[in-house]
Amino acid sequence: MPIACGFRLEVFAVPGVPLLRSGDDLPTVVLGALAGQHVELRDGDVVVLASKAVSRAEGRFVDLTTVVPSARAEEVGREIGKDPRVVHLVLSEASAVSRKARDVLVVRHRLGFVVANAAIDLSNARPVDAPETSGPWALLLPVDPDASAERIRALLAKETGAGVGVVITDSFGRPFRLGTVGVAIGVAGLPALWDKRGEPDLFERRLEHTETALADQVAAAADLVAGQAAEGRALVIVRGLSFDVGTHGVGELLRPPNQDLYA
């Protein structure tokens, strides 16, 4: 795969993405924010968007007071000491439970990610126009992040002529290590996984273990400038990578459960 990286990357936030409302057209919003900041996209730019913005545009809000927990959710909620309404949403989003512990429910999300609490967000989750007295609110992951990324990529390509990649990101915790890191949950245009196997090393041996999680590293780099509370930094550009724009998706990054020693 003819991918290469220059010696210099720029990672910069593009302000001007407002708190989105259900029904906002995300590709148009992104295009408008770029124009508003006079950012001219270049071939090879990666446009990185926080999943929360995508979820808001898709109206993935749930008022917890409207949730009637299932019997299973009540049971799990009692077992781990967690709000059964949240447990209900987590289980609704999950294809399997991975681990349970006090206030923690790690699941395999229907999209394939293994993540705590199905990546449901309980902060900054209120719709812009919801009454102060409503909620508390939860915000679910986007319905199909690869498709959302592709819609954005296609409009940007059409309107600007630039061959860009698009990565939709969230912040996930991890086994073994503390702290969240940015990860890709939707990918269009760039390889999510960069396969370097077969390239010779300095001594002409074939390299081992050289599939790089390109889209996840892009997400982590973007997270350094995006922050987490700052919805004004929902949009970040990573400039300086070089890749062939093609059809890809986040599925490249998902380890099949039957090949996962920690499933």
Among 106, 107, 166, 190, binds its own copies (CB under 8 A): 106
**101 contributes a contact to its own copies by CB under 8 A:** yes
Residue number, 11 or 188, with CB nearest to its own copies:
11
Q: Report the C-alpha gap between 150 and 154 in whole angstroms.
A: 6
Q: Report the C-alpha gap between 263 and 258 in whole angstroms.
A: 8
Minimum CB distance to its own copies, residue 32 (Å): 18
Residue number, 28 or 210, with CB nearest to its own copies:
210
**197 contributes a contact to its own copies by CB under 8 A:** no
Residues 233-252 touching its own copies, rule: CB under 8 A, are: 233, 238, 240-241, 252
Q: Report the C-alpha gap between 234 and 247 in whole angstroms.
A: 24
**22 contributes a contact to its own copies by CB under 8 A:** no
**78 contributes a contact to its own copies by CB under 8 A:** no
Residue number, 43 or 199, with CB nearest to its own copies:
199
Residue 112 burial by Cβ neighbours in a 10 Å radius (0-12, 13-18, 19+): middle
**81 contributes a contact to its own copies by CB under 8 A:** no
**194 contributes a contact to its own copies by CB under 8 A:** yes
Residues 172-191 touching its own copies, rule: CB under 8 A, are: 173-183
Among candidate residues 235, 237, 222, the one with its CA nearest the CA of residue 164: 237
Among 126, 127, 146, 168, binds its own copies (CB under 8 A): 126
Among candidate residues 27, 65, 56, 49, the one with its CA nearest the CA of residue 160: 27
**Angle at which helices 84-93 and 71-80 cross, to 10°:** 120
Match 């293994």 to its residue by tokens: 114
